[in-house]
Structure formats: structure tokens, C-alpha cells
Structure 1
């Protein structure tokens, strides 16, 4: 990248003849500009005052030094005023003069109008825009997140046959990413490569291209950009970029891409996490390969990640849409068992939960009863799935049976378990056990959810049980404000 200020500073030394009176001052100005911004401005202003005191007229070099000093100090308005003074004094500004100010304005979100005003001044002074001028204009539009303006400047360059710099494309692609415009971003890359610009030296541009193609579900383009960015140029994508690529890979059934991204995350030093593997499982399901989706659960455990309901919920939802799919999933579990392999409890829970989501209490209980035959020991998620199905199906009796089986097991209930146990017991004629569950829950440091209190309070209100008021007080203790409707139940 050519630095506008450094070029202008060099011109301070080149333009003035060393024997001319002004050249001595311009040489001092060049030295002053090497200092820190505010110190430089103070010294530059002192030198220019001395020039005026000696009744010496400024030249282009002198004015450019002032422009640099003002813009470095963040005083672009004074720089613009100085530029206008320069024109009033019949000193024709150079393209450097304009570029100095265009560059300083480029980082402000509201600078587009000021930049455009400078472009009009350039036209009036018959100063042509250079590639650097356009770079500053595109950067300014990007700072303002004005994609339409970015496109306007890019179109202008094409019309005038001005080749964009690599940074111009970089800024444009970033603006495209911020506005989810994958097509324009890809066009920028194509043009940059046609100009044989070293795109591999701009990692942000390449990462933005991976991101924008992923969030727009452009699968082929995303895979191509990943190949270019990660495999060709050896860049390391951040976690957020990887997660976007994983999401699309899972959605489109691209198991190879999902597997590669998980390896890349590990290579980048990220410890394996549960949500890394979920898209891989979903990708296998999209491909109709449920058996390998189950196998991912084994990979997770081998990688030190404990699968939970979160890992399998999306797949359970898909299976629940068709009971034939649920039955197929169950038969796969049987097949895995017959092959002499262990059936992962998370895979078993996935099928149980799918039955519950399908509101098929018969299949839910029947599948749950097959745990021992499949060599599966039910865990907390298993009982939660069955209890949830019982509650939704209003199967009070079966719910109580499962609760009793849970108590006899070595499974430790979690907050979700207790909430379901309370909800089911509230539907019984004898609901005294609810208070036992509630106290157990609190004694284990769990905060009962608002919904649990609402269910309990409504049950007490129906029974005209005075403990209704105690429950409302306890709700407020936990920061839950009882609704007017709930209070009106008594």
C-alpha cells in the first residue's frame, strides 16, 4: 500500500529548490512531521506563522504539510479549510493534497458526504482520482456500512478504467460481508485475481469471503473459498467462521466438509465441544445415513465430549415427523447390538425422545422398556424424555410408574427431571409428594423454574390449599413476580 502522507512528505523535500527561502522552512516542516501528531501540529503551525511573518507565500509543499499535520491530529475540518485557502490563494492542490484528507475521513462513519464534497472540488480543480483516491473513498463507504456507495465507487473505477488496489477490494468485500452480499464479494475476488493481485496477503478479505458465502448458504462457493483460504493459503479460520461453515455443512449433508472443519478447529487449538459435532450428525441424517450419525456419538466420547440431549434434539425432531423413520432408527440400534457393538445411550435417548415428540406414548414406553435388551442403562436424559412424553400425553399413571423406577435407579435427577416430576404429580389426586420434590430440588442448589411454580400454584388454587400463598411468596424470593392472572386464582 502506498502511504499518502509519506509520499506527500517526500514531496516536501523534492519540490522546493534548496536555495529558495521557502525551502528552508519546508525542510523544517518535513522534520516536524516526524514527531507525534499533536506535537507535530504545534511545531508546524509555529513554522507557518514564521513564514507568514517573513511575508513568504506558501507553496503546494507548505500547504500539504499543514494538511498532514491537521489530519494526523484529527482536525479534518481545519484541513478542509486549509485546502480551500490553498485554492483561494491560487495554489493548485495536487492529488496528494486531496488524498491526504480523503484518507483521514475514511475511518469516520459519517464521512461519505465530506468525501463526496472533496471529489467535487477535485473535478473543479481538474484533478483526476487515482487508485489511492478510490481506495480512501471505498474505505469511507465501508466505515459507513454503505454498500450502495461502495458499488458506486467500484462502478466509477470501471467506467474510468482505473484498476482498484488490493486494499480497495479488501474494504469492499468486508462491506459485502456486513451486508450479506455474497455475489458482489465473489465478483471482487474474481476481479482482484484477474489483476493478479496477491489476495493471499489479505487474510481478512479471504475470511470474509468464507463467512459471507456460508451465511448465504452458497455451498459450492463456500467450499471453494475454504479450499482457497485454508488449504491453499494456509490461513487459520477463527471459531465463528468454522461454526458458520459447520452449520451449512450439516444443512446440506456435506459430511466431508464438516469432518474437515472439526479437524481444523482441533488443529487451531480449540478443545472439542459438543456443538462442533452436532452438524456432522445432522449431515449424516441429511444423507440418510443414520447409522453413521449414531457413530458420531462414539467419536464424541472418544474425543472427551459427553453427548447430551442437546446433541441429538434436532435429529429427534426430524425423526418425529414420520413414525417409519422412528422405527428405522430403532432397528438400527438393534443392528448395532447384533454386530457386537455397544449402543450409545445418547442414540437410544434420541429414539425415545423422537417417540415422545411424535406424541406416541405407546412407542415411547415400548422403546424405553427395550433398554435392557439393547444393553443400555437409562440415564437422566432417558427418564426426562419418558416423563415428558407421559406429561404431554396426560398419562398420569405411567408417569408415576416411571417416577418410581427413577427412584429405584442410581440415576441422579436434574432440574428438568424434578420439574417434570412435579408437573406430573400435580395432576394426581394426592399431590403431597410435590413438596418433597420441591425441597429436594432446592436442597441440591437447583432453582425451580417459574413454570414449575405456576403449575404448583394453579393446582393449589384449584384445591383451595392455603399453601398457595406460601408458593407465591417463595416465587418472589427467587425473583419471579407472580402474574395478576395467577394471583386471581385464589
Structure 2
């Protein structure tokens, strides 16, 4: 009969006054007041206005913030029906209705507080405490602050647990300003500045600042807590550790983690996951390894493929082959395919830690399965061998001996790409004579064929060592006469750059003409090198090179043009008085290739040019 009474219209209530009056007692005061809070303008609810006079203030507050089960059920039914009619998500509809009802309760609490307690000079402490708990139950920090101020004005000192209740509420809402306001109320109320009274304040402030990513302020609060002898709680320690890790202060986060663990604070997997994610972003080896061990060994958390990939990158750079092995084992257990780049990470970690034999075994096994046959796999080997040029020859010798020992069990390791990496390491360390000698010795001794990458690596080193033209010409001659390899575009460009570093750089134009005769166009860097070299000595061919760059569609930057204009001036230049280059010496270059002539290097330089 309750829904019937609630559903009566005003007209029905007027004509059947006696029946309606008889049905009013069927609704309890709590139910009618909860319906009034929800905004129902029913005469059956409105005509009973004696509720606030019949009940004391704590009970009224309790009824406002704790609706009856009937009210909750009726509200849920109305919302579900409305959501179906409007074809909206019932969760979204319910959330909006709950928020609206909380706002209505908040307004009624404010009205009740302003009407019953604010005008009084000495309200009852129980009434104020009831309002404080009521505002806390609906999540209103502003209402709590209002009650705390009223209590202070009435010389009623709230207890530390009551302050802690408001502080925890503000912490959950990330309201830093409210936390400071509560602390000010604590000071004005004369609360003694002791660790017991202010422990909740510091912990709430620490947690809130950490969750709001105010890492610097959170660390200042943490430092003050340590000076006071206070131990941060689990939530506060978790928030500051994660917030510091987010801004890259991972070492500091690890320090706080160790201090917290030493204070018998136990962290769950979420803390270590926060450390692992940020350690992956900042490539921090120590933090990643700690978090990885805790997550996989202690908590048994299954990481994502991206987390494992970051871990392999970190392990390869740090030389932690044990971590790389653990990650590969985890990937295998989870059913992920182990591809070439995962094996390369293990190889890189072994190379960084100077485990030559094990590293070569890994590469040999990779090649037996079809992986690791390109020079890209050995790029870390070259980088580590050339990191300290003074030690390159010794490290190359050690790596070579380790390769020979490994080749007895894994023959696939002794091939062209591995020897190329060793030769390239010597060449890049400006040991081109030693690189040329080792190239002749190693390839012939083991009957391994040289390829074009072998010569490109050696010529690259010649270009770095202030243009070692002698070794460069020997290398080119061996490529043409011994191995019968056709020079590529890269070979021509390397020879041009080597020649440009000589005092007499005319051979650069010889290689350029031969290159164009083979219908190869030099790249922009090569042309730029020619322009700068000619401009340095006011060679008019700098302008010719600029014109040819424009014909090929290359961008002539203003910096390059200004460089030519600054160095090249009209007047008597390095090659005569004429600006058009008519007084150029023998082997002059006009900038235009002879289309009718298909010259090769041997045709231009002669058959005996590259004799060793």
C-alpha cells in the first residue's frame, strides 16, 4: 500500500482526505524524509513538517545522510526504468542520480546547520560532531572545514582522530589546500605540536602530494617526517616513490624504498610496477632489475610484451646477460616467439660484459637457425671495440682468439661478417695500417671471401685518419685486381672524401668523373665536401659544384652559399685570375661528364695505378 499512497495526486488527496490521512502513518518518518530529500513534492510528504521538531539534531543528520532501504530500492527502480526509456547506460544514469542526491543532502545539511547551530554561541558538542560526521559521509571537505571552524569558535577542540578523518577525506580527493587548511585549524585550536597529533596530517599531506605529482614538496614533507622520527605509512611511501620515479629521480625513489622496507613497511605489486614502468622509460638498470625480480619471483605478476622488450634493451646496454636470459626464459614460458632482435639483445649484453666466447656461441647458434647473418647483429661488437681507441688492438686480438676457439664447436661464427666487424673496428680507431694487414692475413688464412663491405669499412677508416691516401689506394687496388669487385657508389664517395683531405685534391675530380661515367650521382654530403674544399682555397670549381647540385635537384642551403661567398672572392685566386676557372691545371674538372665516354677507374688512372 505504500506505493499507492505515494502515487496519489493532489486532487485525490483532497477528495479522500480521511483515507489519505489514515495512510500517512504507514510511511515512517525516515521514509518520508528520504523521499523529501530526493525532491518528491508529494502532499503526503510536505504536509508533515514537524520532523525537525520531533527529532534531535544528531538523528536528523543521520536520517539525511543515511536514506532508508526503501528509498534506495525505489531510486534504483526509477533510474533503471528511466535509463531503458531514454536508451542510456544505467551506470551513467545511476552515477548522475547519486551525485544529484548528494548535492541535495548537502544543501539540506547546510540549511539545518545554519538554522539550528550557527546562530547559537554555545551549541552542543554532540550536535557539531554529528554534522562533522555527516559531511564526512557525503564526502564534503568544505562542510567539514565549516564545522571545525565553528567548533574552534565555540572553544570546542576536536580530537586528533576527528582531524585525521577530515585529512584522510581531503587526501582521497587530492585536495592539498584543504589539508593545509586543516593543519591551520589544528594550530589555531591550540592542538599541541606532537608527533602523535600531527602524524595523520603529515601522512595525508605526503600521500596527497605524491598522488598529485608534487614530487619536490612530497620529498620535503618526507624529509621533515624523518627528522621528527615519524614513519610514513604504506600509502604515503608508495605515492612518493612512484611520483619521484615519474620525474626520473629513480635513485632517490630506491633510497626511500629501502628506508621504508627497513622500517617494516610492506609494499604490494603496484609499487614495484610503478618503479618498473618508470625505470623502463628512463632506462634505469638497477631499478628495473629490482622491480622485475620482485614482480616475477615474489608476486608472480605476468608482464606485458612491451615490459619485456624494455628490459632486454636495458640489459643489453648494461651488460646484464643474466637479466637478459631471465627475460628470454619468461618470454618462452609465456609462449611469445623469440625473434632475432631478442637474441641480439642477449648477444649485446654478453659483448658489453666482455664475455667473448659465450657471445660468439650465441651468434653462431643464431646463424644456424637463419638469424644474425647481417652486419647489424655485430654493431654492438664494433661499438665496444672502438669505445677506447687506445685499447682497440688488444680487444680485437682477444675477440679474434675467442672467435677461433668458438669456431671449433660452432663453425658458423667464422665468416665474412665477423671478420668485417673486427677489421672495421681497427679502421674506425684510426689503425688503418693494422686493419689492412689483418684483412690480408685473416681472410686468406681462413679462406674467407672478402665482400664490398670489407672494403667500405677499411676506406671509412682511411677517411677518418686525415685521409690516409696510401692505404686507401692499396685497398682500392686489391678490390679491383685481386677480388675483381665492381666499385659501388659508396666506394667512389669514400675515395673522393679521402682525396679531398690531401693537399693536392685533384684525384677527387678523377673519381667524380669516373663515378658519373658509371651513371652514379654523388650524394649531397659528397657535393658539399667538394664545395667547401674548393671554397677554402678559392677554387672557382666550387661554383660549378653548386650549379651541378641545383641541376640534380639538391637543396643548396644558404649556409653553403654563404660559406662559398665568404671564402671565394673575385681577384687572383689559387688557380689564376679568371673567375670561370679557365686557368685550371691539368686534370681540370668542368663539372660536366663526357656523355660519349664510358671511362672506368683503370682507364683514367692507368693499369699500374694500384700496384701494391
TM-score, normalised with respect to structure 2: 0.58
User: Aligned ranges for residues 207-226 of structure 1 at < 5 Å?
Assistant: 207=276, 215=284, 226=292
Render the CA deviation track for 1:415-471: whole Å, top value 9, x for unaligned. x7675354235445252543775899998xxx946x434312124445421323326
User: Aligned ranges for residues 18-37 of structure 1 at < 5 Å?
Assistant: 19-20=55-56, 23-30=59-66, 35-36=95-96
Do residues 458 (structure 1) and 526 (structure 2) align? no
Q: Which is worse superposed, 307-316 or 382-391?
A: 307-316
CA contact (8 A) 1:45 1:66 kept: yes
CA contact (8 A) 2:527 2:545 kept: no
CA contact (8 A) 1:334 1:374 kept: no
Render the CA deviation track for 1:221-270: whole Å, top value 9, x for unaligned. 976664333223223452476157515751xxx53333223444566658
2:206 to 127, 134, 138: 138
For the structure 1 residues 83 and 320, does the alpha-carbon distance in structure 2 shift closer, same or farther, using more than 3 Å as the test? same
User: Aligned ranges for residues 355-374 of structure 1 at < 5 Å?
Assistant: 355-369=426-440, 370-371=442-443, 373-374=445-446
| d(CA) in 2 for partners of 1:55, 1:19 | 13
User: Aligned ranges for residues 314-333 of structure 1 at < 5 Å?
Assistant: 314-318=383-387, 320-322=389-391, 323-333=393-403
Q: What SS is found at the alignment partner of 1:46?
A: helix
For the structure 1 residues 326 and 311, does the alpha-carbon distance in structure 2 shift closer, same or farther, using more than 3 Å as the test? closer
| d(CA) in 2 for partners of 1:64, 1:411 | 87
Partner of 1:6: none
Partner of 1:118: 182
For the structure 1 residues 124 and 418, does the alpha-carbon distance in structure 2 shift closer, same or farther, using more than 3 Å as the test? farther
Q: Which is worse superposed, 166-175 or 126-135?
A: 126-135
Deviation at 1:78, TM superposition (A): 8.4
User: Aligned ranges for residues 116-265 of structure 1 at < 5 Å?
Assistant: 116-125=180-189, 126=191, 133-142=201-210, 143-146=213-216, 148-152=219-223, 154-155=225-226, 159=229, 164-177=232-245, 178-179=248-249, 180-181=251-252, 182-191=254-263, 194-195=264-265, 197=266, 199-200=268-269, 202-204=271-273, 207=276, 215=284, 226-236=292-302, 238-239=307-308, 242-243=311-312, 245-246=314-315, 249-250=318-319, 254-264=320-330
Partner of 1:429: 507
List alignment gaps of at least 5 residues for structure 1.
1-15
* Corresponding pairs, count: 446
Do residues 62 (structure 1) and 138 (structure 2) align? no
Higher relative contact order (CA 8 A, sep 6+): 1
- Compute the RMSD of aligned alpha carbons: 4.7
TM-score, normalised with respect to structure 1: 0.70
List alignment gaps of at least 5 residues for structure 2.
1-51, 73-93, 119-126, 569-612
